[in-house]
Amino acid sequence: MSILKSLFKRKDIRVRFAPSPTGLFHIGSARSTLFNFLFAKTNGGKFILRIEDTDQERSKPEYEKDILESIKWLGLNWDEFYRQSERLKLYAGYIKKLLLNGSAFYCFHSKEFLENEYEEQIKTKKNPAHHCEFRKLPIKDVVYRLNKESGIIRFKTPLDFEISFTDLIRGKISFNSDTLGGDFSLAKVESPLKFTPLYNLAVVIDDYEMKISHVIRGEEHISNTPKQILIQRELNLTTPEYAHLPLILAPDRSKLSKRHGAASVMEYREMGYLPETLVNFLALLGWNPGSEKEIFTLAELIKKFDLGKVQKGGAIFNTEKLDWLNGHYIRSMPIDELTKKIIPFLEKDGLLAGNNFEYIKKVVALEKLRLKKLSEIGERVAYFFKIPEYRPELLVWRDMLFKDIATSLKVSLETISYINETDFNCDNLEKILLKEAERAKNKDRGRLLWPLRMALTGLEKSPGPFEIMEILGKKRTLERIETALKKLNAV
């Protein structure tokens, strides 16, 4: 155990994941959730889920539902749950404190004024910053304007002031207050005494009230940290430990986008990935256990996770590795459990009518070793559930003519017809049909087996014909061969 990890165990660990329900729950959020969960559980602490929904215009119930379902599906259950929209009175009290102690003030600049100011600063190559003239407005003028105008509350950012903190992943980070964009926003003013807190203020208050010990989040939040420390300082609140996770990057080290795999977690579920796979994969995006081991259960990750082994550099999203991991978990899964998970995908493809669980289980067992995603099952095994569609030309093996194919299929039809139902198994079928195949021209087995397999599946790539026939059974096997002969006769 590292010194860093042992120190954590001496404290009451409380961490939080705090998503805004303004979009679907994506991979970056899932990785942050996982690292917070692992850190809490590894150190015997609490994992808190906090929905940051104070932006009522952009927050949607369907997005909150997606967040909750995604986290539950991954198995990252929270210990406490909060919604910011249910805590507005709490924030109002802190806003009043900041106004009374002179750390915050009302700003009455219009949106148009601020946009013009920003554009002018960009045009003159100045760092965009709003140093607000209203910070010195007398209280009587504030009261007068509040009755007539809308406004926001800003933080009175000190000039030329250094803010430093020690990031548990990156070490010491320092900012000069002059780089923070001037007097930043704290809250919207709905009425003279009614406020809606904005991100930086609400985060500070919630982290304090919820006794958050460690804030573990993406590195895009580093620039928010000095603002939050300034607010903590003015309210005389404790500052949690900060750890900023590396970005998740595309293989070319560009920002991860949809085409690289930045899909929502529920999309990965729909694509046929297992929750065990995503947890394992996400854990290795920016964290290294210090060994070559790549397969981890959630329980193993809880035992092994060490925040001190999180890397600073960006983590590469490798879809090939994700598929490899998913294939591993599919192969490791008991066949009954795997079949239950695959059935919804077969239903979606309209392939289950009239087939019982045992039949489906045999189909799944045949393809289990080849699957990378559960969603692949339909395209691979459709022929087990309906007579396949294919062009007669696909029945042709090498230089064979259609008449040769017809002869070959008739041999298979006649041979299989004489096999008893009780003997209709893979080993027996292989033994009998290979004898017939040896009689083919130049002892080319393909002359018998290729047309037969194509008649059964309609696919150029599939498992061997003997395993397929055992699952299909004698009746369905003969029907497939007869259908192939009819295709040839129709040419």
Buried b (16+ CB within 10 A) or exposed e, 106-133: bbbbeeeeeeebeeeeeeeeeeebbebe
* Active-site residue list: 258
Residue where the block lists tokens 């430093």 = 164
Residue 15 neighbours by CB under 8 Å, 6+ apart: 36, 39, 40, 45, 46, 47, 48, 212, 213, 214, 215, 216
123 is in an annotated binding site: no
Tokens matching residue 157: 């950012």
- 405/411 Cα distance (integer angstroms): 10
Helices (H), 236-367: 265-270, 275-283, 298-304, 319-332, 335-348, 357-367
Residue 223 neighbours by CB under 8 Å, 6+ apart: none
- 118/129 Cα distance (integer angstroms): 8
**Is the Cβ–Cβ distance between 38 and 309 less than 8 Å?**
no
Residue 349 neighbours by CB under 8 Å, 6+ apart: 377, 378, 382
Q: What pairs with residue 81 in β-bridges?
A: 49
**Is the Cβ–Cβ distance between 185 and 154 less than 8 Å?**
yes
- 491/457 Cα distance (integer angstroms): 20
Give Rg (Cα) of the chain: 32
Residue where the block lists tokens 């080993």 = 427
| 3-state SS assignment for residue 172 | strand
**Nearest of 211, 263, 204, 209 to residue 228 by alpha carbon:** 204
Question: What is the amino acid identity at position 474?
Answer: K
**Is the Cβ–Cβ distance between 372 and 323 less than 8 Å?**
yes
**Is the Cβ–Cβ distance between 384 and 362 less than 8 Å?**
no
Binding residues for ATP are 258
